């Protein structure tokens, strides 16, 4: 599968429902970054499954939902989208990842008592 065969969208095309902590059932934001990256900051309502765990945890995802897959800058999420598409999911890569998310001013939350930040 080539880059032209993997669907990608800019962060401003990701539904605003992810700007709250309760995403709708029709779309899911899947964050595939490592635990330490997630703890520093992530999108409200995102589902966290590190890239290496996706095959083992695929049952946690909804085949009927549009999956927006994000990582730090787009490389890992691109690979995860290739895999998910191959096994039947409707998945798209979020171009620019969480760096672009923060630059666009989209909301962030963090685990712990520190301000959320990606970079």
pTM over 0.75: yes
Q: Which domain holds residue 23?
A: 3-103
Rounded Cα gap, residues 38 and 43, in angstroms: 9
Give 104 or 112, the one with higher predicted confidence.
104
Helix (H, G, I), strand (E, B) or coil at 21: coil
Contact 30, 61 (CB under 8 A): yes
Instruction: State residue 17's pLDDT score.
Output: 77
- Give the position of tokens 């700007």: 19
The 10s digit of each residue's pLDDT in 16-62 is 877 665 544 589 999 999 999 999 999 999 999 999 999 999 999 99
Q: Tell me if residue 32 is catalytic.
A: no
Distance CA 18, CA 23 (A): 5
Exactly one of 71, 91, 94, 118 is catalytic; name it.
71
The answer to whether residue 119 is domain-embedded is no
39 occurs within a structural domain:
yes
**Mean of pLDDT values over 92-116:** 95
In the block, residue with structure tokens 């520190």: 114
Helices (H), 8-119: 35-40, 54-57, 75-86, 97-103
CATH number assigned to the domain comprising residue 70: 3.40.250.10
């Amino acid at each position: 599968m080539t880059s032209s065969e993997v669907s990608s969208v800019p962060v401003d095309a990701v539904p605003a429902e992810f700007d709250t902590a309760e995403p709708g059932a029709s779309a899911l934001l899947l964050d595939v970054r490592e635990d330490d990256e997630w703890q520093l900051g992530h999108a409200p309502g995102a589902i966290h499954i590190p890239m290496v765990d996706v095959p083992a945890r695929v049952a946690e995802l909804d085949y009927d939902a549009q999956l927006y897959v994000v990582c730090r800058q787009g490389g890992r999420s691109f690979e995860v989208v290739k895999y998910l598409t191959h096994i039947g999911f409707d998945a798209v890569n979020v171009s620019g990842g969480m760096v672009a998310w923060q630059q666009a001013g989209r909301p962030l939350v963090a685990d712990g008592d520190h301000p959320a930040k990606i970079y």
